[in-house]
Structure 1
Amino acid sequence: MVKSIYSPRKYVQGSGVLTELERYVGSLGNSFLVVADPFVLEDAVKKIGKGFEGSESEVIFEKFNGECTKKEIDRLIEIAKVKKSDAVIAIGGGKTLDTVKAIGYYTKLPVVIIPTLASCDAPCTALSVIYTEKGEFSEYLFLPENPDIVIVDTDIIVKAPVKFLAAGMGDAFATYYEARACYKADANNLVGTKITKAALALAELCHKTLLEDGLKAKLSNEKGVLTKALENIIEANIYLSGVGAESSGLAAAHAISNGLTVLTELHHASHGEKVAFGTLVQLVLEDAPEEEIREALSFMKNVGLPVSLEEMGVNVINKEAIMKAAEASCAEGDTMHNMPFTVTPEDVYGAIIVANELGKQFK
């Protein structure tokens, strides 16, 4: 039996670290392709430019087109080849980061990840989630290596709207429950090995941190101030969840999130919101104690996550549409098979309906 824990080679978090970027990435080469979200491009040029002040390195900036698709990955690969880049740097949200990780994989270039949001655990993982041109889930691209360097400038993240921090907490909240399910099932983690005690400990610490500091971090973010609680939640959302989930495995919560992408009303909902609701559905599938479900609902309410389909924008519960989502959740190759018992689409359908009612009735 082989166990393992995978993580980025280097993780750096702190106030203002982006303005010292060359200090952390200079060993990777002299030519860098920076792929940036449109809304941070101007700021990225200024801050990263300052981080390379006095350097002879060439830094090329390219705007990300908004969706992690095969077409967008191929477009940026061509730019990296033409510019003879030594490394690729992503600055932005989860889809930008996933795109650049895929570029690094196909070009064999080092990858530097600079998240501008603590909205998901994508920065640290050896995984890219690929979508269709219509924004529906297409496939997981499992990568042989984690990003070389992850740099988290908390000065940037504290300025982001609080809904992104909440979404990150929703994604991170699934980590412990899915790790627990995978461990019970003796399932493989996302890198194809068994689960270490260290990975489980990270998942448990992630859960504990969310419950202890989630509300305080939300309030800090709303007021635009950095506190220890906010720093802790940023670390939980990005590192503890990323390494914990990858090395412990995914189960029903993420499979259900992927299934929910077939509902057009939820295309605007964030990944973290769908995963958080998927966590509620997983707890119903497990017939978890009422106290545990109430704790989950209370946490989600406190940090601003939706607890029902209606709160995410599904105004009419259509049986046929929900069944399609349930069937998609059980698709071959997704992570529903990591549950410690057999799960059918009918099981998922029933759990979605009950989870939705629990959310609607929760006070």
Structure 2
Amino acid sequence: MDTAVIAEAPTRFLVAGMGDALATWFEARSCGATQSENACGGLGTLTGLNLARLCYDTLLEYGVAALVSCKANAVTPALEHVIEANILLSGLGFESGGIAAAHSIHNGLTALPGTHNYYHGEKVALGVLASLFMSGKSKALIDEVYSFCESVGLPTTLAGLGLTGVSPDELKKVAARACIEGESIHHEGGDITPQMVSHALLAADGEGRRRKGIAG
């Protein structure tokens, strides 16, 4: 991998890669807890799970510095660490560990044309935030992930994906798409319903707006 090429590329590509990589740890952990199959049809390994965790830790540690470096078209250790997380650690982590809610919510969001100008990783990032609410994660963890997304410019609201004034019917469409048979959201524990997904998206959007100081 020629990291100088990435340093010269638009920073939005790097940030979108971080959004996709952000899901790796959360999804691998869910698949491990429910013994769900990974991309190869087997069960996740300890190696895969620990690589997924390293991916998350690397993003939190070096994400901002990598973004600053990329904006300056500078190859630095931080940028190279995040490139490694986006490509190698995330790739090995999801193939070995499996995927779950965040990618299904991404798939649901693609049902709305307003999201079509946004990158895969940008939609996955909001899927991660929604999945934290859906699975009842702690406030401390939710704060940590929102802070990371805000620090690198990943979407934390529906408006951040071009969705303003989303109707209840549109949210139902997203949630139904995310929950179709065979979707990876069913690798999460319990019986996941479209209503759970739509409520999680509303909660994630509400928290993102609260942190931005947006009324509503």
* Fold conserved between structures, TM > 0.5: yes
Residue of structure 2 in register with 1:253 after alignment: 102
Query: Deviation at 1:276?
Result: 0.3
Identity of aligned residues (%): 44
2:136 corresponds to 1:287: yes
Residue of structure 1 in register with 2:208 after alignment: 359
Residue of structure 1 in register with 2:48 after alignment: 199
In structure 1, the gaps of 5 or more residues are 1-151
Query: Deviation at 1:333?
Result: 1.6
RMSD after superposition: 0.7
Residue of structure 1 in register with 2:182 after alignment: 333
Residue of structure 1 in register with 2:92 after alignment: 243
The one-letter code matched in structure 2 to 1:337 is H
The one-letter code matched in structure 1 to 2:46 is K
Residue of structure 1 in register with 2:11 after alignment: 162
Partners in 1 of 2:163 and 2:182 — Cα distance? 27
Return the structure number with greater relative CO, CA threshold 8 A, min gap 6: 2
**Between structures 1 and 2, the one with greater helix share:** 2
Query: Deviation at 1:217?
Result: 0.1
Whether contact under 8 Å (1:185, 1:341) holds in the other structure is: no
- Aligned runs of 1:66-85 on 2, under 5 Å? none
Partners in 1 of 2:6 and 2:67 — Cα distance? 12
In structure 2, the gaps of 5 or more residues are none
Runs of 4+ in 1 over 3 A off after TM superposition: none
Residue of structure 2 in register with 1:296 after alignment: 145
Whether contact under 8 Å (1:307, 1:356) holds in the other structure is: yes
Partners in 2 of 1:277 and 1:306 — Cα distance? 6
The one-letter code matched in structure 2 to 1:352 is L
Of residues 218, 234, 246 in structure 1, which corresponds to 2:67?
Answer: 218
Partners in 1 of 2:45 and 2:152 — Cα distance? 30
Residue of structure 1 in register with 2:159 after alignment: 310
Residue of structure 2 in register with 1:181 after alignment: 30
2:186 corresponds to 1:343: no
Partners in 2 of 1:223 and 1:194 — Cα distance? 41
1:80-102: CA deviations, max 9, x gaps? Answer: xxxxxxxxxxxxxxxxxxxxxxx
1:225-264: CA deviations, max 9, x gaps? Answer: 0000000000000010011011100000000001100011
Q: How many residues align?
A: 212
Residue of structure 2 in register with 1:209 after alignment: 58
- Aligned runs of 1:22-37 on 2, under 5 Å? none
TM-score (norm 1): 0.58
Query: Deviation at 1:309?
Result: 0.5
- Aligned runs of 1:101-180 on 2, under 5 Å? 152-180=1-29
1:61-109: CA deviations, max 9, x gaps? Answer: xxxxxxxxxxxxxxxxxxxxxxxxxxxxxxxxxxxxxxxxxxxxxxxxx
2:73 corresponds to 1:228: no
**Between structures 1 and 2, the one with greater strand share:** 1
Of residues 24, 39, 43 in structure 2, which corresponds to 1:190?
Answer: 39
